Amino acid sequence: MTASRTASRPAADLDAPELRPDVHLSLDALHDLANAKLIGAGLSRAHAAAVAETMVAGERDGCASHGIYRLLVAANSIARGAVVVDAEPVVSEPAVGLVRVDGAGGFAQLAFERGRPLLVEKARRCGIAALALNNVVHFAALWPEVELLAGAGLVALAFTPSHAWVAPEGGTRPVFGTNPIAFAWPRPGQEPFVFDFATSAVARGEIELHRRAGKPVPDDWGYDAAGQPTTDPAAVLAGAMRTFGGHKGSALAAMVELLAGPLIGDMTSQESLAADAQRGGSPIGGELIIAIDPAGFVGTAVTHHLLRAESLFAGIEDQGARLPSQRRYAARRRSLADGVAIPATLYDDIMKLPSGE
């Protein structure tokens, strides 16, 4: 693995002592680095490979808060005993259209990988199927999962709570997690339509990146521990984040808590935070994934109806509006050709982690 240095700002600015060039890596080198550091942290090879794939996907697609920075997050969770590093997921079938995977306390990526083939099979057989991931540790975005299902020709939705970091609209004390929702729609001959967003005003990782960079956050992102609006990212992290869209985001966050908590027999965000017992690890709990085969509803006319859907996308793009995921796909094309640039301070912190083979 080799790394090269590329300037992150114009050359004239590099005289400033606090500025250092980014570290440039190919995607293959980035994957090797992530895999080695995850094994060095103690993960089994199967878990390390699955987790590394998700981290590289985030960095590849320009999602820095869900990219290689998450190596530090994962290593922290492992060091604090919040993750079963060699957990062996157990797949079961509660009903004809349902799949359950008990992740046994490991990261969610391997549990999803083990359950996905049966989910796809059941969706194609029944027209619709659901996968519940139980007893897993979450740190990543959901779009890689729904995008994979859309690549198999399925419409997909995913939901997961997290730790109780987010206040409901009208309150200032944490109840909800960041509670992301992801959706993917297959598109003939091109990348799927995908969106993935937290029901909080911003991803928690984005606040953490602001803290690392010494940058303030907007005063509508969260509250300090006393319930007052603040631009200090550390104060928000110690206090409560806000939902996006006011009461609408708050209602969606509650929906996610119910769908990926009690409905599948797993923890709410408040229960996840309590189970963490102040270790400071990543969220523990469940995830619900729903997969729908369009052919299950419209049969042999599926191609016709998928092409009809393209008129909706055209109506958006023809007026200059951007579809969700277009920015990620553009970043992906650049990264596949040119690799990625990692901030020097983040690279240094990653390199301090032990490596495994």
For residue 163, indicate whether it is catalytic. no
What is the token pair recorded at 191?
């990348």
What is the token pair recorded at 61?
């697609």
335 touches 60 (CB < 8 A): yes
For residue 206, indicate whether it is catalytic. yes
Q: Which of 59, 113, 145, 206 is catalytic?
A: 206
- CA–CA gap between residue 345 and residue 80 (Å, rounded): 23
Beta bridge partners of 5: 23
Residue with tokens 């690279």: 347
Q: Which of 53, 65, 169, 191 is catalytic?
A: 65
Comparing C-alpha atoms, which of 119, 62, 105, 130 is closest to residue 327? Answer: 62
For residue 66, indicate whether it is catalytic. yes
Q: Which of 47, 66, 138, 163 is catalytic?
A: 66
- Of the CA atoms within 13 Å of residue 323, those in its CB half-sphere come to 21
| CA-based max dimension of the chain | 65
Active-site annotation, residues: 65-66, 206
